[in-house]
């Protein structure tokens, strides 16, 4: 039998849960309603449209002036490449900081953390000039290139992720690697065969966090990219609402929903590893 206090507490908890769910789902339902509404006007938008139309979704892929599929592909290329490289470089750096003792180790860790405190926006002018000068030597990695954008994103992703991964590596017993070394393995083999399989949760966490941040990033991409067919999804979708909001609202809503699918796929595939990756990585130096 539940006491009155227990029953009241249970009701309050369930109310809070359902309010939080409604708070998260209602905007998505509103966007979906806008994407299937033929009015294409935010001012006259209804939560339940009087008539359903899928014309906005067809326009996304049939309008040559707004290459939505190209924008989506560019975002996936940039986000996936940045995420994989971030995981790879972060794992190498974190392993070195976690397992080896060398001069400047602590200073290096503190420097990474200090640099991470300042957002990349503060260095926008410097980043722009650097890519401009790089483009004169190697045009394929300068301004208005996906490679240049990936390099910029990598610079902003390594600091905090190295700290987080290093903390997780500290929880893995050194004796496992020592046993492998006794059996004849090198440090790199112990790293790839012993440490990395045990570090899957934190690596998945780094991958998902980086993917979400890069895939939805707008400010840097809008400054560094200038060609229509080089735009990422966030920059491209802005074209639908930057000039005539009312006339492009339905198409923008449809593009936003389609663009959210990669988020869901990545999160579903990695959700079982995320919780342990975030909690176990939070240990002190």
Q: Are residues 82 and 40 in the same domain?
A: no
| Structural domains counted in the chain | 2
Q: Are residues 84 and 177 in the same domain?
A: yes
- Domain containing residue 271: CATH number: 1.10.3720.10
> Phi/psi of residue 99, each to 5°?
-105, -25
Q: Are residues 221 and 156 in the same domain?
A: yes
Q: Are residues 94 and 135 in the same domain?
A: yes
Q: Are residues 121 and 157 in the same domain?
A: yes
Residue with the two structure tokens 């002018």: 125
Q: At what angle do helices 261-280 and 146-170 cross, to 10 degrees?
A: 30
Q: pLDDT value at position 114?
A: 80
Q: Are residues 158 and 193 in the same domain?
A: yes
Q: Are residues 50 and 168 in the same domain?
A: no
Residue 194 domain-assigned (yes or no): yes
Q: Are residues 271 and 150 in the same domain?
A: yes
Question: CB-based contacts of 74: which residues, under 8 Å, 6+ apart?
Answer: 146, 230, 231, 232, 233
> Phi/psi of residue 262, each to 5°?
-60, -35
Q: Are residues 84 and 160 in the same domain?
A: yes
Entry field: residues in the chain: 285
Cβ atoms of residues 273 and 204 within 8 Å: yes
Q: Are residues 119 and 68 in the same domain?
A: yes
Q: Are residues 52 and 117 in the same domain?
A: no
Q: pLDDT value at position 281?
A: 45
**Residue closest to 157 by CA, chosen among 86, 263, 80, 85:** 86
Residue 161 domain-assigned (yes or no): yes
CA distance linking residue 71 with residue 74, whole number of Å: 5
- Looking at 57, 72, 92, the residue that finishes a domain is 57
Q: Are residues 136 and 276 in the same domain?
A: yes
Residue 285 domain-assigned (yes or no): no
Range of the domain at 12: 4-57
pLDDT in tens, the chain (285 residues): 456 667 787 888 889 999 999 998 988 888 898 888 887 666 667 777 778 888 889 888 888 888 999 999 999 999 999 999 999 999 999 998 988 888 888 888 888 878 777 777 788 899 999 999 999 999 999 999 999 999 999 988 888 888 889 988 988 888 888 888 888 888 888 889 888 988 888 899 899 989 999 999 999 999 999 999 999 999 999 888 876 544 678 888 999 999 999 988 988 888 777 765 555 544 444
């Amino acid at each position: 039998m539940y006491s009155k206090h227990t029953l009241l507490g249970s009701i309050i908890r369930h109310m809070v849960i359902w309010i939080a769910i409604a708070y998260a789902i209602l905007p998505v339902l509103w966007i979906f309603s806008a994407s299937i509404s033929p009015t294409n006007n935010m001012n006259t938008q209804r939560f339940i449209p009087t008539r359903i139309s899928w014309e906005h979704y067809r326009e996304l892929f049939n309008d040559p002036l707004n290459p939505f599929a190209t924008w989506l592909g560019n975002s996936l290329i940039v986000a996936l490449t940045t995420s994989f490289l971030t995981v790879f470089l972060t794992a190498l750096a974190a392993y070195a900081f976690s397992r080896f003792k060398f001069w400047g180790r602590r200073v290096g860790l503190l420097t990474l953390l200090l640099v991470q405190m300042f957002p990349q926006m503060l260095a926008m002018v410097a980043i722009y000039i650097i890519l401009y000068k790089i483009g004169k030597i190697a045009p394929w990695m300068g301004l208005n290139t996906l490679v240049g954008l990936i390099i910029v994103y990598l610079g902003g992703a390594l600091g905090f992720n190295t700290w987080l991964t290093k903390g997780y590596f500290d929880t893995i017993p050194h004796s496992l690697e020592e046993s492998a070394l006794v059996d004849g393995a090198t440090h790199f083999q112990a790293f790839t065969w012993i440490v990395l399989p045990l570090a899957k949760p934190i690596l998945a966490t780094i991958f998902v966090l980086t993917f979400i941040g890069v895939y939805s990033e707008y400010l840097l991409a809008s400054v560094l990219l200038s060609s229509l067919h080089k735009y990422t999804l966030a920059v491209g979708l802005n074209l639908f609402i930057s000039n005539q909001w009312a006339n492009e609202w339905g198409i923008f809503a449809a593009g936003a929903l389609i663009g959210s699918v990669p988020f869901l796929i990545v999160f579903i595939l990695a959700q079982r590893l995320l919780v342990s990756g975030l909690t176990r990585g939070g240990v002190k130096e």
